[in-house]
Amino acid sequence: MAKVAITTKFFSEETERLREAGHEVLVHEGPRLGKAELLAFAKDAEALIISLADRIDEEVLEGLPKLRIVANLGVGVDNIDIAAATRRKVLVTNTPDVLTEATADLAWALLLAVARRIVEADQDLRREGFPGWTFLPKHLGVDVYGKTIGIVGFGRIGQAVARRARGFSMSIFYYSRTRKPKAEKDLGARFAPLPDLLRESDFVVLCLPLTPETHHLIGERELSLMKREAILVNVARGPVVDEEALVRALKEGQILGAGLDVFEKEPEVHPELLGLWNVVLTPHIGSATWQTRRKMAALAVDNVLAFLRGEQPPTLVNPEAWPGGKARM
C-alpha cells in the first residue's frame, strides 16, 4: 500500500480507483498550498498528484524523500524542476493529448471573441441596453474567414488550432522548432521563420511550452513586426510573452488586440490589461471542460497506478528516471 497525496479538489471516482487498488489517498480541497504546507500535507507520500499551480522544486523534492512519482494535471511541466526530479529518480508524468481539442477550442473562442468584440458588446448591452440596429455600430470588428493565421508551436495543440482554421478558409503559417512535413501536407500549412510569420499573419496564436528558449519569445521587437490590425492569442504560458511590452503595444495601437488565457505572473494579471477594451482575458481555462478534466484526472491516476504496479507510466516525461531508462544527454 502506498500513500498518494492529491493537492487539489478531484473527481471522487478517481480517488476511489486509487483506494480500490489498496492505496491510502489524501486530498487537499482548500486553497493552493504554500511550500511548507505542501511538505506537511504530502509527508511520506510516494505519489503526488498536483495542479499546475503547485511548484515542485529542489527544496520540495528534498523535503519529500519518499516521493517516487509526481503526476501533473496538465501537459505543460514548467512548474516542475524536471532535471532535479530526474537526478533523484522521481518520475514525472503529464496529461498530453486528452486536452488538445479543448485547448484549441479555447484558442479559437478567444480569437473570435477579440475579432468580433463579443465580450465588450455583451458588457455594453447589459449596461446600456440594445440601442437598436445601426449600420456602423460601436462594435465593428475584423474579418476572420479567409484571413491568415500564424501558429507558433506546431505540436498537438498548434495543429488542432490549424485544423479549425481550415474551416475558416485561412492561409496557415506555422513556426516550430522542427519542420512538420506531414502536417504541412495534411493541413496546407506553410513553415515560416518567426519574423516572417509575425509580419504576414492577421492572427498569431501561441501554442508552445515555456522553456528557457521560449521565455519572452514575443517581446517588443516581435510585436513591432506584427500588423497594426493583427490579434495575438496566447494559450501557451504567460512568460512566453513580455507582458509589459504587450501592454504598451495594445495601448499604442501597435496591434489591434489580444486574447489571453495565461499571464506572466499568474495568478496576478497585469493591472493595465484589465482596463483595455481590446483584450479578452480568461483565467487559464484552456482545458477546463467537464469531459476533458475527467480525462486528465483519469490519465494522472492511470500513471500513478501503473507506477505502483511496477509498470512504466503511460505518459512519462522523464524516461531517464525509469530504471534502465536512457540517460539525459
- Distance, in Å, from the CA atom of 248 to the CA atom of 41, rounded to the nearest integer, reads 42
Measured N-to-C along each axis, helices 290-308 and 12-20 cross at an angle, to the nearest 10 degrees, of 10
17 has catalytic annotation: no
Q: Which stretch binds ligand GLV (CB under 6 A): 70-78, 120-128, 143-151, 195-203?
A: 70-78
Residue closer to ligand NAP, measured from CB, 2 or 73: 73
Q: Interface with ligand GLV includes 234 (CB under 6 A)?
A: no
Residue closer to ligand GLV, measured from CB, 6 or 255: 6
Q: Interface with ligand GLV includes 259 (CB under 6 A)?
A: no
237 has catalytic annotation: yes
The answer to whether residues 50 and 70 touch, using CB atoms and an 8 Å cutoff, is yes
Query: Which is catalytic among the residues 237, 264, 270, 320?
Result: 237
Q: Residue 119, exposed/middle/buried by CB under 10 A (0-12, 13-18, 19+)? A: middle
CA 56 from centre of chain: 18
In order, the DSSP letters of 207-239 are -----TTTTTSB-HHHHHHS-TT-EEEE-S-GG
Q: Which stretch binds ligand GLV (CB under 6 A): 63-71, 72-80, 136-144, 164-172?
A: 72-80
Contact of residue 52 among ligand GLV, ligand NAP, none (CB under 5-8 Å per partner type) = ligand GLV
Residue at grid coordinates 448591452:
125
Give the residue, chosen from 2, 33, 64, 75, that forms a contact with ligand GLV under the rule CB under 6 A.
75
Residues 77-102 as b/e (b if ≥16 CB within 10 A, e otherwise) read bbbbbbebbbebebbbbbbbebbbbb
- Cross-strand partners of 206: 152, 234
Q: Which stretch binds ligand GLV (CB under 6 A): 33-41, 71-79, 116-124, 312-320?
A: 71-79
Q: Which stretch binds ligand GLV (CB under 6 A): 30-38, 69-77, 166-174, 250-258?
A: 69-77
Give the residue, chosen from 74, 141, 257, 313, that forms a contact with ligand GLV under the rule CB under 6 A.
74
In order, the DSSP letters of 71-92 are EESSS--TTB-HHHHHHTT-EE
Least separation, in Å, of the C-beta of 141 and ligand GLV?
27
What mask, x for binding ligand GLV by CB under 6 A, covers residues 35 to 54?
A: -----------------x--
311 has catalytic annotation: no
Query: Which is catalytic among the residues 28, 68, 284, 293?
Result: 284
Q: Which residues bind ligand GLV (CB under 6 A)?
A: 52, 74-76, 99, 286-287
Q: Which residues are catalytic?
A: 237, 266, 284
